[in-house]
Structure 1
Amino acid sequence: MKNVVLLSGSTVGSKTSTAMKYLNEAITNQDDTLNIQLFDLKNLDLSFSDGRNYLDYSGDTLELTTALMQADIIFIGFPIFQASIPGTLKNVFDLLPVNAFRDKVVGIVATAGSPKHYLIAETQLKPILSYMKAHVMQTYVFIEERDFSNGTIVNDDIIFRINELATSTLRVSKLYNQLLEEENSQYDF
């Protein structure tokens, strides 16, 4: 059974949490055999990274970091603040080892108040994920404030793109795991 972690990477606001709930539903509709965990930083009491091994933390910090380390697929949702990722999300990355995302496929959902910030995922988040050895999906979902109303997504194109992100990420993960199994089967040990 594959482990999927959805991370809503902010302690404020509701749009990213809303988008991640839609994504959770899209993933569940495609494959109900997955072990899916949804973490919302608003509901967690995380320690500030101080350089310790992630296993030396406790409580919510240990639960989140362990889930991320054990995940096969990760979806990261984040709002764009001051033309960057939230500091709370960066703290999550700082809690993890450098190779934390090796052999993991990562999909991205970004929410923003303005279309001017659509490249923040490219310039801020993807380099961090690549450095941590993730296989980052090329396309991501960018959602503007105008796409939300009363706690729901009202733009059908956004819902379609969320569903497509779920489909393509699950597909890439399946193919990647098949390649890894083929490579590992070449060895006698």
Structure 2
Amino acid sequence: MSNIVLISGSPSLFSRSNQILSYLGAKLKEEEQFSVSHILVNEIPLEDLFYGKYDSETIKKIAKQIQEAKGVIIASPVYKASYPGVLKALLDILPQDIFKSKPVFPIMTGGSPNHLLAIEYTLKPLISILKGHSLQGVYILDSQINTEYKNPIIDDDIKRRIELQIGYFIEAIREGKISIPQ
């Protein structure tokens, strides 16, 4: 059984991106028999993030979870054409090769199609700097999400795109591939 780490970059307690991560995590556990762990930026002590305490017990535990994982899924809302600063603060204090040789599936949510390229111009370069192998990301409009449903993604095209990328993600983990289809 492989471990997958889900990172929610939302500072909100009830975020759409976290709902999507929770759904995908449950699906990966149930259908694919992966072990899954969640990292929520809003549960990390603020002092650790604000003061860059890379040697805090919480940050060491997070780093260990990610280093031992076979793959990572990051979901984040778009704030002002980028990911939230709290997500950047977390990634900044982790080891610089934290995603080395891991498939990383980025997902972003936002209220406007104007931020469609936020994954390409903000999140994917950060994943690359951390030595991860980024899959093609999926951007989901808030209007394509209903958090009242088990599968919060209500748009059929987005569902298909998520399924396709999850398939690539699982294949990359199982085969140990680091050459991921774009």
Alignment of 1:69-148 (within 5 A): 69-137=67-135, 139-148=136-145
Matched residue, 2:16:
15
Shift of 1:26: 2.9
Q: For each residue in 1:65-99, what CA deviation from the matched residue of structure 2 results, as whole angstroms up to 9, or x when unmatched?
A: 22112211000000000111110110111111111
Q: Tell me if the contact between 1:9 and 1:79 (Cα under 8 Å) persists in the aligned partners.
A: yes
Give the letter for the 1:124 counterpart: T
Q: Tell me if the contact between 1:5 and 1:73 (Cα under 8 Å) persists in the aligned partners.
A: yes
- Give me the whole-angstrom Cα distance separating, in 2, the residues matched to 1:63 and 1:115: 36
TM-score, normalization by structure 2: 0.85
TM-score, normalization by structure 1: 0.82
- Give me the whole-angstrom Cα distance separating, in 2, the residues matched to 1:178 and 1:79: 26
Give the letter for the 2:96 counterpart: V
Matched residue, 1:169:
169
Give the letter for the 1:8 counterpart: S
Give the letter for the 2:27 counterpart: A
Q: For each residue in 1:11-35, what CA deviation from the matched residue of structure 2 results, as whole angstroms up to 9, or x when unmatched?
A: 1251111111221133224411x22
Is structure 2 residue 156 aligned with structure 1 residue 159?
A: no
Is structure 2 residue 43 aligned with structure 1 residue 43?
A: yes
Matched residue, 1:68:
66
- Give me the whole-angstrom Cα distance separating, in 1, the residues matched to 2:143 and 2:78: 15
Shift of 1:158: 2.4
Structure 2: stretches of 5+ with no match in the other structure: none
Structure 1: stretches of 5+ with no match in the other structure: 180-189
C-alpha change, 1:97 and 1:28, in structure 2 (3 Å) is same
Shift of 1:57: 0.8
- Give me the whole-angstrom Cα distance separating, in 2, the residues matched to 1:153 and 1:173: 24
Structural RMSD (CA): 2.2
| Aligned length in residues | 174
C-alpha change, 1:82 and 1:71, in structure 2 (3 Å) is same
